[in-house]
Structures are given as structure tokens and as C-alpha cells.
């Protein structure tokens, strides 16, 4: 009966996999998928967390953790590390998080036991559903999207930066959660960047959806903050020095709106009074040149024509930047001096004759 249930379950999973087109040219867990080349990283040196970090494990206790069932975690703590106890189940943080920078260190069982997915298997699951694979991939191989540092079932690491069993390794994970509209539709997919032992292995990877064994899962709306979890996969993997920083929400980037300056329109013949070369004075070696095209005036610099707004005869402003030009005018209305201000810098100049 157990065997029959397993066959039915696997059959349903296989049907689900083929019924939804994955965004990859490879099948999930495809053994034909090329495996990343190996690189030799530097040994991991344990460093203290930054001042704004939330320390999730400092080597002394599991006060920040519960079991996935919600009761006391059954993992062992000794000698400054925690160790997964086979059969005790996954553990997760008591607190919930969204966008994070996560640092976590781990060590594979030594001597190693098993091969492939049975060798030093665990996983870091962000928001309980987006897994960065923990595995002993040192001189051992499995499917590319399931080796150490893979976004499980989706994205193999760029390289295999694994260290030998027993040596401490590290992940630095930068995670941006998915964004959902009020109706539950996806607005923006989750993204993950991962360093493995200081080596870039996931470069702002955009997830397809939650990670899953044997199956492609599309997005499903969920809370903005959920716990971080560590997987129990029946291997005594060790962890230490776990901390994270909550990242501020980001806003879409785009060109700035030009400030709504009150423009003083000047005739071309008036603008011509400002045109010319301005040489640095008062110890300043920086010079500028103003040029006119039609009824517009520009600051020439770096091979570009920088747009200027004429706000008054004594002051012009940059259209796109927080910078201004202040003029000293002669009796004839022709500038004799210009001071260029940007940030806290002042560049005094005199008009060349």
C-alpha cells in the first residue's frame, strides 16, 4: 500500500511538471545539464556581524528558533555550533522577515557519507519556500540545479566553490522578496544573489516561483514577512554565525523629474553675453565653457552639453542636477565672474576676455 501511494504521488508530481512549462530549457534536476566548473575559494574566517544585524545564532542557544511544528527545536548545540539531528525536522526563526542580507556558516559531516543528494544535505529556505541548497558538493556531483549554492530546482551556481567536508563554509545571501498586487497577482518576482565562500555564484537570479523537488510551482501570493528555515534532510550538517540585516524596501529606479523652476526667458542676444570661457580663480584650476544653441544655453563639460535653466540674470540652474551658476554682472550686463556650486563644492571663475 505504501509502495502504491508513492507511485501515485510521483505520478502526480510528474504530471504537474509536464503540465506547466518551466522557464528553463532544461528539465528540473536534469543530469544532462552542464555542471559548474570548480574554483578553489579562500578558507572562511569567522567575522563578527555588523552593528545593525539581527543575530539568529551566536553559538550558545536556539532562543531565536522553533521547530517547523512550532515547539522547541530538537537540534543539538555544542562547541559554538548547532547541528541538525536526523529525524527532528526543520527549524525556523521565531521572527518573520522580507528583504534581507543573510550570512550563515555551515560545515559538512566529516568523514562524508552517501553520494549526491544524500551527502551533507540541508537547505536555507527564505520565507519558508525559496531554497538555497546546502550540500556537500566537494569532489562529488549531483544534478546541477541541486548542488551546493543552487536555487533548488531552478538555477545552478555559476561555479562550484565548495570546500572539503569538515571545513567551515559560508553563504552570503541577498534576497528581495516577491511583490504581489492586492488581487494576489505577481507584480515583481523574487531575486537572489549569493556568495559562496566569498565567490559570486548567483547573480541577481529572478526566481520562477517557490522551489520544489521534482516540480515546477508557479507563484502564489503570501505574506510580506515570513520565517527563515533550515532543512533537516537526515544529515548532521552544522551551522554557526547566523545573522541577517533587514533591507529597506526599494522603489523603482527611473530618470528624475526635472524640477519646476520658474524660468526667466532671455532673448538669444542676451544669452550671448554669457557665452564663452570661464577660467578658474582664487586657487581653483577648474574652468567652464557656456555655449548657446537657439534660445537655450548649455554648460559644456566632459564632451557633453549640460542643459541649463535660466532662472534670473544672476543665477542659472542645472535642469537635471542640484547645481547652480551664480554670476556677477558688469554695468553692461555682461558677466565678469561665475561661481559654480554643486553639493558642497564651489568653483569660482572669471570670464576670459
Is 259 domain-assigned? no
Query: What is the rounded average pLDDT of the residues 200-204?
Result: 97
Of 246, 277, 308, the residue at which a domain comes to its end is 246
User: Mean pLDDT of all residues in the chain?
Assistant: 89
Is 238 domain-assigned? yes
Question: Looking at residue 125, which CATH number applies to its domain?
Answer: 2.60.120.560
Residue numbers of the domain that contains 336: 268-351
Cβ contact 324:263 at 8 Å: no
In a shared domain, residues 64 and 189: yes
Is 5 domain-assigned? no
In a shared domain, residues 272 and 213: no
- C-alpha 317/C-alpha 305 separation (Å) is 14
In a shared domain, residues 178 and 292: no
**Over pLDDT 90: what percentage of the chain?**
70
Is 65 domain-assigned? yes
In a shared domain, residues 217 and 335: no
Question: Looking at residue 275, which CATH number applies to its domain?
Answer: 2.40.128
Residue 218's pLDDT band (cuts 50, 70, 90):
confident
For strand 296-301 and strand 288-293, is the pairing parallel, antiparallel, or unpaired?
A: antiparallel
Q: Give the residue among 65, 99, 121 at the shortest CA–CA distance from 242.
A: 65
Number of domains in the chain: 2
Element (H, E) at 2: helix 2-19
In a shared domain, residues 130 and 174: yes
Predicted model pTM: 0.75
Q: What is the pLDDT of residues 46-95, one digit of tens each?
A: 999 999 999 999 999 999 999 999 999 999 999 999 999 999 999 999 99
Least confident segment among 7-11, 99-103, 330-334, 339-343: 7-11
In a shared domain, residues 188 and 310: no
Would you state the pLDDT for residue 20?
A: 42
CA distances from 153 to 24, 90, 99, 180 (A): 10, 19, 22, 23
Three-state SS at 57: strand
Burial 255-277 (b: 16+ CB within 10 A, else e): eeeeeeeeeeebeeeebebbebe
Q: What is the pLDDT of residues 10-60, one digit of tens each?
A: 443 433 333 345 667 888 888 888 889 999 999 999 999 999 999 999 999
In a shared domain, residues 324 and 190: no
pLDDT at 348 over 80: yes
- C-alpha 24/C-alpha 26 separation (Å) is 5
Is 123 domain-assigned? yes
In a shared domain, residues 189 and 317: no
Q: What is the pLDDT of residues 139-154, one digit of tens each?
A: 878 888 899 999 999 9
Would you state the pLDDT for residue 229?
A: 97
Of 246, 279, 294, the residue at which a domain comes to its end is 246
Residue 12, preceding peptide bond in cis (omega within 30° of 0): no
Query: What is the rounded average pLDDT of the residues 285-314?
Result: 90
Is 252 domain-assigned? no
In a shared domain, residues 158 and 76: yes
pLDDT at 281 over 60: yes
- C-alpha 46/C-alpha 203 separation (Å) is 24
In a shared domain, residues 156 and 193: yes
| Secondary structure string (H, E, C) spanning 72-126 | CCCCEEECCEEECCCCCCCEEECCCECCEEEEEEEECCCCCCCCHHHCCCEEEEE
Of 213, 246, 279, the residue at which a domain comes to its end is 246
In a shared domain, residues 240 and 272: no
Q: What is the pLDDT of residues 104-130, one digit of tens each?
A: 999 999 998 888 888 889 999 999 999
In a shared domain, residues 79 and 220: yes
3-state DSSP helix/strand/coil % of the chain, to nearest 5: 10, 35, 55
Is 8 domain-assigned? no
Is 304 domain-assigned? yes
Amino acid at each position: 500500500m505504501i509502495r502504491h501511494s508513492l507511485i501515485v504521488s510521483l505520478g502526480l508530481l510528474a504530471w504537474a511538471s509536464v503540465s506547466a512549462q518551466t522557464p528553463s530549457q532544461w528539465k528540473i534536476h536534469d543530469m544532462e545539464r552542464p555542471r559548474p566548473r570548480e574554483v578553489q575559494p579562500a578558507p572562511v574566517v569567522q567575522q563578527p556581524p555588523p552593528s545593525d544585524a539581527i543575530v539568529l545564532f551566536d553559538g550558545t542557544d536556539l532562543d531565536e528558533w522553533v521547530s517547523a511544528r512550532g515547539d522547541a527545536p530538537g537540534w543539538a548545540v555544542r562547541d559554538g555550533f548547532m547541528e541538525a539531528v536526523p529525524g527532528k525536522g526543520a527549524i525556523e526563526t521565531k521572527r518573520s522577515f522580507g528583504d534581507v542580507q543573510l550570512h550563515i556558516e555551515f560545515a559538512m559531516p566529516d568523514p562524508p557519507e552517501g553520494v549526491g543528494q544524500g551527502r551533507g544535505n540541508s537547505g536555507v529556505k527564505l520565507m519558508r519556500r525559496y531554497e538555497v541548497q546546502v550540500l556537500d558538493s566537494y569532489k562529488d556531483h549531483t544534478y546541477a540545479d541541486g548542488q551546493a549554492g543552487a536555487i533548488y530546482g531552478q538555477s545552478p551556481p555559476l561555479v562550484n566553490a565548495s570546500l572539503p567536508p569538515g571545513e567551515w563554509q559560508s553563504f552570503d545571501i541577498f534576497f528581495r522578496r516577491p511583490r504581489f498586487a492586492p488581487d494576489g497577482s505577481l507584480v515583481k518576482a523574487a531575486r537572489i544573489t549569493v556568495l559562496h565562500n566569498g565567490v559570486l555564484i548567483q547573480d541577481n537570479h529572478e526566481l520562477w516561483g517557490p522551489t520544489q523537488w521534482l516540480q515546477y510551482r508557479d507563484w502564489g501570493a503570501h505574506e510580506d514577512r515570513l520565517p527563515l528555515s533550515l532543512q533537516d534532510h537526515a544529515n548532521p550538517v552544522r551551522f554557526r554565525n547566523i545573522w541577517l540585516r533587514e533591507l529597506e524596501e526599494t522603489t523603482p529606479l527611473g530618470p528624475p523629474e526635472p524640477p519646476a523652476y520658474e524660468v526667466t526667458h532671455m532673448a538669444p542676444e542676451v544669452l550671448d553675453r554669457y557665452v564663452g570661457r570661464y577660467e578658474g580663480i582664487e586657487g581653483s584650476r577648474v574652468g567652464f565653457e557656456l555655449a548657446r544653441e537657439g534660445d537655450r544655453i548649455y554648460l559644456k563639460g566632459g564632451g557633453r552639453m549640460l542643459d541649463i535653466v535660466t532662472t534670473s540674470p544672476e543665477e542659472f540652474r542645472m535642469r537635471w542636477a542640484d547645481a547652480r551658476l551664480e554670476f556677477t554682472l558688469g554695468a553692461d550686463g555682461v558677466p565678469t565672474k561665475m561661481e559654480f556650486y554643486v553639493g558642497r563644492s564651489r568653483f569660482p571663475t572669471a570670464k576670459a576676455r
